[in-house]
Amino acid sequence: MTLAELIPTLGGSLRGHLEPGIWPRSTAHGVDGDLLLGGVPLTQLAARFGTPAYLLDELTVRQHCRDYRSALPDVEIAYAGKSMINRGVLRWIAEEGLSLDVCSAGELAVARAVAFPASRIIFHGNVKTPEDLKAAVAYGVDRIVVDSLDEIEQLGALARYPQNVLIRVTPGVDGHTHRAIATGVEDQKFGFSLASGAAAEAVGRVLAQPSLRLVGLHCHIGSQISRVASFEEAARRMVAFMAALHVQYGISLPQLDLGGGHAVPYRCGDPSFDLHGYADRILRAVNFECSSHQLPLPRLTIEPGRAIIAAAGITLYRVVTVKHGVSRTFVAVDGGMSDNPRPSLYGARYSVRPVGRHFSAISRSATVVGRHCEAGDIVAEDVPLPSDLRAGDLLAVPCTGAYHHSLASNYNMVGRPPVVSVRDGSAHLLIRRETEDDLLSRDLG
């Protein structure tokens, strides 16, 4: 709970304050209650691109890439494209020297459209359709992360030697995150279990495929994880498994991919991820385990998505109506679960800030709701908002760069918002707003 939630009368004075860590780095105060992003006033962006709109601060994305590269200079950093993918973002990622993780032929098509180097692409997915596998092989992606015995056979038949392969292992580590995004624990759909022996069997199957070259192992224990100890434990188990494979098959695997999942704070006071602590503990753990098992050090890869792009984004909404319920005030906006399903999927909580004019009234707790036909269509629950907020006002919701546009839907036939990047005082449309013609173009009557 924020201070303003605890003491509503403080809301007015705290409104001048931008909570650190959850707003894009270029966010600044403008005139008359406005905010600037990349030097552009949010009111101007709303007028030019309409609302709702996803805004993206290019400099924040680039800075996060640089933060990762400098914290882990010898580790391959692969951006997880599922968090937010479009040509503009992939160009920045490529220019910053990151690799790319894709998990479908569609995501690969975006990478292909910007000629993202195949040598820096890793192809994932617990279900890869024949079309996915064909697209991955045709583009010559460097690594395919196999996830089932069926896939090993299918890929073996399709690929030409040497198709580099990683095996996705479920290390049995709890990342202490939401159930829906915990992928390191046993008994679920991702990867091959370490404990059951399935992972060792998968290694044998890959080695038996003449077209495949096993180059390493992969694990991803989940998303929005702030406990570095969970990543460290996964790394230890993976190296111990590499040592066991050395004994069983006489192989030394040269690569270890530890996945992504690094947490970001969505609201002031949320736990943040200690990147330098992570770098230190992971490298120590891998060095220690390798030397105690007398294994050569593998090349490490990590795959952050959210940590690169979440805090670069702001969603801008316009208030359509303010309604007073029996015990709550509802502020209804022109978007909702179609542009951000995270509150209904994971109970995600957000901070909200009114922009574009001075609000002098005290703050009261309000629930920001969307336009969709579900009671669970909530943008932000129980947030302090000025009591003089009214229809037509603008609301900015920070930390919406990751898993917002990529999870968006057309529920209620609402077109998806545009993605607008800003930098150095100018704005650029990366993805235009979806129109009614777009929506009807797939309906063949």
Q: Which residues are catalytic?
A: 373
The continuous run of DSSP H or E covering 384 comes out as strand 378-386
For the CB of residue 309, give the shortest distance to ligand PLP in the complex, in Å: 8
Q: By C-beta, is 304 or 335 nearer to ligand PLP?
A: 304
User: Is the CB of residue 42 less than 8 Å from the CB of residue 428?
Assistant: no
Q: By C-beta, is 43 or 183 nearer to ligand PLP?
A: 183
Whole-number Å distance between alpha carbons of 203 and 132: 22
SS3 category, 186 = coil
Q: By C-beta, is 348 or 414 nearer to ligand PLP?
A: 348
The continuous run of DSSP H or E covering 200 comes out as helix 198-207
Structure tokens at 154: 């299918």
For the CB of residue 411, give the shortest distance to ligand PLP in the complex, in Å: 22
DSSP assignment of 76-131, as one string? EEEEEGGGS--HHHHHHHHHTT-EEEE-SHHHHHHHHHTT--GGGEEE--SS--HH
For the CB of residue 176, give the shortest distance to ligand PLP in the complex, in Å: 14
User: Is the CB of residue 200 less than 8 Å from the CB of residue 244?
Assistant: yes
Structure tokens at 211: 């077209």
Whole-number Å distance between alpha carbons of 11 and 360: 10
For the CB of residue 389, give the shortest distance to ligand PLP in the complex, in Å: 33
Q: Which residues bind ligand PLP (CB under 6 A)?
A: 80, 82-83, 101, 124, 220, 223, 259-262, 303-307, 402
Write out the binding residues for substrate. 306, 342, 346, 374, 403
SS3 category, 313 = strand
User: Is the CB of residue 194 less than 8 Å from the CB of residue 237?
Assistant: yes
User: Is the CB of residue 240 less than 8 Å from the CB of residue 289?
Assistant: yes
Whole-number Å distance between alpha carbons of 79 and 90: 9
Q: How many residues does the chain have?
A: 445
Whole-number Å distance between alpha carbons of 120 and 97: 9
Task: Please say whether the dihedral angle defined by the alpha carbons of residues 132, 135, 140 and 141, taken in this order, is positive or negative.
Answer: negative
Look up residue 298 and give its amino acid: P
Residue 283's nearest CA partner among 217, 252, 239 is 239
User: Is the CB of residue 311 less than 8 Å from the CB of residue 62?
Assistant: no
Question: DSSP state, 400?
Answer: -
Show Cβ contacts of residue 256 under 8 Å, excluding neighbours closer than 6 positions.
Answer: 216, 217, 218, 235, 238, 239, 242, 286, 298, 299, 300, 301
The continuous run of DSSP H or E covering 169 comes out as strand 163-170
Write out the binding residues. 261, 303-306, 342, 346, 374, 403
Q: By C-beta, is 107 or 334 nearer to ligand PLP?
A: 107
Write out the binding residues for pyridoxal 5'-phosphate. 261, 303-306, 403
Q: By C-beta, is 262 or 405 nearer to ligand PLP?
A: 262
